[in-house]
Amino acid sequence: MKTNQKIIEVIIVGGGLAGLTSAIHLSKFGIGVLVIEKKSYPKHKVCGEYVSNEVLPYLNYLGLDPFILGAKKIDTFLLSTPKNKMIKTALPLGGFGISRFTLDYELSKLALSNGVVILQDSVINIQFSEDQFEIITKNEEVFKAKIVIGAYGKRSAIDIKLDRSFIKNDAPFLAVKTHVTGVFPENVVALHNFKGGYCGLSKVEDDSINVCYITDFKSFKKYKNIEDFQKNVLCQNPNLKEIFENSIDVFPKPLTISQISFADKSPVENHILMCGDTAGMIHPLCGNGMSMAIRSGQLASQLIIRYFNGKIKSRLELETIYKKSWNSEFKFRLKVGRIVALLFKKYNFSDLMMSALKSFPKLLSNIIRQTHGKSLKAE
Ligand SMILES: Cc1cc2nc3c(=O)[nH]c(=O)nc-3n(C[C@H](O)[C@H](O)[C@H](O)COP(=O)(O)OP(=O)(O)OC[C@H]3O[C@@H](n4cnc5c(N)ncnc54)[C@H](O)[C@@H]3O)c2cc1C
């Protein structure tokens, strides 16, 4: 083991959206930050790649303009069922389409140019004693820090070490993502329901269409492989059939992830401030996980700055305020997300739900509003 004696002000475990945005924010205020990220940039990620505009002013404040990178402006939401019942509505806030390959990479470059150190290694344990942290990595390095942000995504071996309760529960969902070339409107994010899940479609900066679906393991395991599942299940929805039959794959093979769960988590564990999916994951159906990750990174950063300049007097106060603010920002959204997901799960209900949405056109915009926040103040 190599123990680094220097005590770093903030170590961020995980360099995804929550980790990188908080690293950039903290570094703008002169705080020393080390990000430990297990993968190298740029990297593709299973994600619908539709970002809500609520984070646009904040991303601009951090120094990133997604439209310079070619992001597509998205203002319309389309929802369909396997029986081809369809509803289209304007998105209350709108958003943009950009690949995680580009977004995370650009944020990592921005962090580096701000003086953030990014280390490619995997954190295997985080310990806290005598008012400081020790972070142990797979490459047998030990780092010391005053503050640790946990931004390592939905699930990690660290959660087992921390004995977090959600890790003991079932995580029955899996997701598949690919990029294809074909015909699809640039300003639309579509959500096509199929038996056992839904598939999102939207365009990203290089004109590819992101095809990303989530389903439960029970529905998937009846089929031999992804192709078989897509052909027999997803293609029951004519909108998906059209895409799968008339587009060309960009990826050599689709990316997959499993063990997705939307269980309750705590935003503070063993004194670590948890951000993004590490603190709580909203159902992807709401298209808002990235904004939540970025917002929670902003929230943690703002409070850490106040802690370092003495306005927050103690670690206990820092943790208490973070927990309270996190719950008041996200608890309700997560709850609505879970309810919406449950309704979608009931295959027969989706047609019924569609009829209800068609009869009350404002209902859909309202549901979207409930799962999204207000536009973030740049600061
Ligand atoms: C199928 C699907 C579709 C989605 N579609 C959308 C969408 O269209 N719009 C939207 O807003 N949200 C969407 N989301 C949600 C969104 O992808 C997440 O909410 C978002 O990525 C969370 O960001 P994060 O920074 O918390 O985690 P991540 O982006 O997952 O980052 C975590 C990082 O930590 C690293 N890491 C993990 N463990 C360790 C370790 N031990 N040591 C070091 N590093 C580690 C990982 O490599 C990763 O880079 C979707 C999610 C899924 C599953």
Q: Is the CB of 196 under 6 A from ligand 1?
A: no
What pLDDT does residue 366 have?
Answer: 67
AA identity, residue 308: F
pLDDT of 295 over the 70 cut: yes
Give the domain extent around 111. Answer: 2-43+99-168+262-371
Within a domain: residue 9?
Answer: yes
Q: Is the CB of 273 under 6 A from ligand 1?
A: no
Q: Is the CB of 212 under 6 A from ligand 1?
A: yes
31-51 pLDDT, tens digit per residue, is 999 999 999 999 999 999 999
AA identity, residue 243: I
Asked if residue 46 lies in contact with residue 177, where contact means CB atoms within 8 angstroms, the answer is yes
pLDDT of 219 over the 60 cut: yes
The model's pTM is 0.95
Candidates 39, 43, 277, 376: which one to mutate for ligand 1, based on the most atoms within 8 Å of Cβ? 277
Integer Cα distance of 163 and 251 in angstroms? 37
**Residue with CA nearest ligand 1 atom 39:** 152
Within a domain: residue 298?
Answer: yes
Within a domain: residue 334?
Answer: yes
Within a domain: residue 379?
Answer: no
Within a domain: residue 225?
Answer: no
Percent of the chain having pLDDT more than 70?
92
Q: How far is CA 4 from CA 8, 35, 148, 332, in A?
A: 10, 15, 16, 41
CATH for 303: 3.50.50.60
**Residue with CA nearest ligand 1 atom 41:** 123
**Residue with CA nearest ligand 1 atom 5:** 48
* C-alpha 104 to ligand 1 mean position (Å): 10
The number of domains in the chain is: 1
Integer Cα distance of 14 and 245 in angstroms? 37
Half-sphere exposure of 2 (CA within 13 A, CB side): 6
Q: How far is CA 270 from CA 30, 33, 164, 166, 263, in A?
A: 26, 20, 10, 15, 19
Within a domain: residue 328?
Answer: yes
Residue 125: which region, alpha, beta or left (left: phi > 0; alpha: psi -120 to 50)?
beta
337-360 pLDDT, tens digit per residue, is 888 777 766 655 567 777 777 766
128-159 pLDDT, tens digit per residue, is 999 999 999 999 999 999 999 999 999 999 99
What pLDDT does residue 172 have?
Answer: 87
> What number does the ligand 1 atom closest to the CA of 121 have?
43
